[in-house]
Structure 1
Amino acid sequence: MMLGKTLVTLSLLATAVLSHTATAGETLDRVKHNGELVAVMDQSYPPYSFLNDKNEEDGFDVDVVKEVAKRLGVKSKIETPSWEVIAAGHWRGRWDICICSMTPDEKKAKGLDFVAPYYSSPAVLVTNATGSSINSVSDIEGKRIGIEQGSSYERYLQKDLVIGYGAKQIQYPFKQVQPTPYSSEDLAYQDLGLGAGKRIDGIVANLVTANKRIQASSGKFKIVGAPLYEEPNWVAVDKGDKEWNATIKAIINELHKDGTLKKISLKWIGTDITAQ
């Protein structure tokens, strides 16, 4: 009888171990089986991700996705659900990875695992270049400030952003503003371009994307003051697959060490924003 119980116990333990192993490698197994890495990102976030003249996804993040897929021995596929959906996590196998200029914070970490940093660029305040009464960050008190819905910028304006991950503590030189969420930065810049204060008074954005918009707008926008806070950007994946996390972390570390990330950064940004 004791022998029988022991065999049953060992059988159950073996099943549990096998089950855990299958779960831990679920994403990698799926990617290898499908021969495809499905990545998510913002469709209009130049120069990180945008539609080029051939109506194809292009940019810094797209090139990093392609390189990760190459090192996994698979093809890459880009999908562009809303930012809110991406940031919420719980993807349930629909997507494999977010190399999508995502800043880690406590709220997103409830649904996503942040596995490796791949670049850093600070947040800045952008206003219309003419007629704006905003000359410093403290001047946004009570103003309507545009941000992409669900982004870390929205939580910054709500004074509820906790990044961690080695970033300095954020300071808020204002008491209260009116966050104005948009489904994309394109729409926010369109409204800001109508004139200072007509629909919004400013935008909180990434320094690199802000510079890109300024260059493309023939002087319609400007950056006000110093950067608002450090903004590390990490590769994110759905929560709970330790093997997948380790695999992606190892690849991103390789891309740092062999200079591939630096090369991609110089191509799209003109400077190296990937230094650790």
Structure 2
Amino acid sequence: MKKLITLVLSVVFIFTMFIGCGNSNKDAKDSNMNSLERVKKSGKLTMGLDDSYPPMEFRDSQNNLVGFDIDLGKEIAKKLGVKPEFTITDFNGIILSLKSSKFDMILSTLSMTEKRQKEVLFTEPYIVGGQIIAVKKGNTSITKAEDLKGKLVGYQLGSTSENAARKIEGIKNLKSYDKVTEAFHDLSLGRIEAIIVDGQVGGYYMKKDGGDYTILKEKLTKEPVGIGFKKEDKELRDAVQKAIDELKKEGTLSKLSIKWFGYDIYKE
């Protein structure tokens, strides 16, 4: 009986070792794939974003994920022959999540700052945005950046809006928000007196809410926006860049711009 048990255990051990070696070989083969090959094999392109930044990425009244970047992400995935998959994450930690491989790329209105370019591999800019000042309609006490002295001003945490706001001297207090939608809500209620925000976002709210807000003519910054990848994922970045170039040439980006911004930002 002991010999029989020993023989059975030996067979089980050998079988387990065989399976283990098979998995190890598979894992080794997968690890040798570059970023584009891994995406192609998985059949999906995963994109990290913060779903509270209209009109770029946000939830509609039916809680559907919509926006310029969402449509762009779907078009890019189609070009690569894979399915799009969106992963929701807080913008403040989005680069850390990318580095932790929670998704393949960041498609979340990511401004290409010098600091971020040290951490992230970017495509060429697909939008050139910039920070502006939004106030509640009827507020005539703020007409330029200098008028923010002594005022309570809001911005989205982790965004370049904070950098622009901190360069303005004399602001009484800066209030951070996890989501830009919360900042606009407080502005509408008079809890803050102004918001520093991306121009496309400010324009969307002014159009959406029937003129409840006023956008000042002064632009605080000019910011190129790109899609971000891990530094080593050059093959995937290059494939996505090729897709963007084709979408621009075909006129798809112009159509998306008119759909979400009301005008063609790609028109020469």
On whether the aligned pair clears a TM of 0.5, the verdict is yes
Q: 2:104 aligns with which of 69, 88, 96?
A: 96
| Superposition deviation, residue 148 in structure 1 | 0.8
| TM-aligned CA deviation for residue 52 of structure 1 | 2.4
One-letter amino acid of the structure 1 residue matched with residue 106 of structure 2: C
> 1:145 — aligned with what?
153
2:226 corresponds in structure 1 to 234
Question: Would you say the 8 A contact 2:98–2:105 is kept in 1?
Answer: no
Q: Show CA shifts across 1:31-81 (max 9, x none).
A: 112211111222122221121244221111111000110011100011210
The Cα shift of 1:275 comes to 4.9
Alignment correspondent of 1:185: 180
Number of residues of Structure 1 aligned to a counterpart in Structure 2? 239
Asked if structure 2 preserves the Cα contact closer than 8 Å seen for 1:115 and 1:234, the reply is yes
- Give matches, 1:121-270, under 5 Å: 121-131=129-139, 133-159=141-167, 174-177=168-171, 178-195=173-190, 199-270=191-262
Asked if 2 retains the 8 angstrom alpha-carbon contact of 1:129 and 1:222, the reply is yes
1: CA distance, partners of 2:259 / 2:98? 33
Higher RCO (CA 8 Å, separation ≥ 6 residues): 1
1:83 aligns with 2:91: yes
How far does the alpha carbon of each residue in 1:140-185 deviate from its partner, in whole angstroms, 9 at most, with x for none? 12422211100011111223xxxxxxxxxxxxxx324333210001
Look up the equivalent residue of 2:235 and give its one-letter code.
E
- Report if the CA contact (8 A) 2:35-2:234 is conserved: no
Partner of 1:66: 74
SS at 2:259 equivalent:
helix
Structure 1 stretch displaced more, 100-109 or 208-217: 208-217
After TM superposition, give the deviation of residue 83 of structure 1 in Å: 0.3
The one-letter code matched in structure 2 to 1:130 is G
How far did residue 89 of structure 1 move? 5.8
TM-score normalised by length of structure 2: 0.81
8 Å CA contact 1:125, 1:223 repeated in 2:
yes
Q: Give yes or no for contact 2:125–2:225 (8 Å, CA) kept in 1.
A: yes
Q: What percentage of aligned pairs have identical amino acids?
A: 32
Deviation string, structure 1 residues 199-221 (Cα, Å, up to 9, x no partner): 32210112222122123333321
**Structure 1 gap ranges (5+):** 1-18, 160-173
> TM-score w.r.t. structure 1 length?
0.79
| 8 Å Cα contact 2:56-2:67 kept in structure 1 | yes
Change (3 A) 1:28 1:176: farther
The answer on whether the counterparts of 2:164 and 2:220 sit within 8 Å (CA) in structure 1 is: no
Question: Is the contact between residue 133 and residue 195 of structure 2 (CA under 8 Å) also seen in structure 1?
Answer: yes
Larger Rg: 2
Cα offsets for 1:209-267 (capped at 9, x unmatched):
21221233333211123222212211111222222222222222222222221121122
What SS does the corresponding residue of 2:125 show, helix, strand or coil? strand
Residue 48 (structure 2) aligns with: 40
Deviations 1:128-147 (A, max 9, x none): 12345212111112422211
Deviations 1:85-109 (A, max 9, x none): 1144653321111222111102222
Question: Contact 2:135 / 2:215 at 8 angstroms: preserved in 1?
Answer: yes
Distance in 2 (alpha carbons) for counterparts of 1:275 and 1:240: 33
Partners of 2:150 and 2:43 in 1: CA distance: 51
SS of 1:116's partner is coil
| Change in 2 beyond 3 A, CA 1:275/1:82 | farther
Unaligned runs of 5+ in 2: 1-27
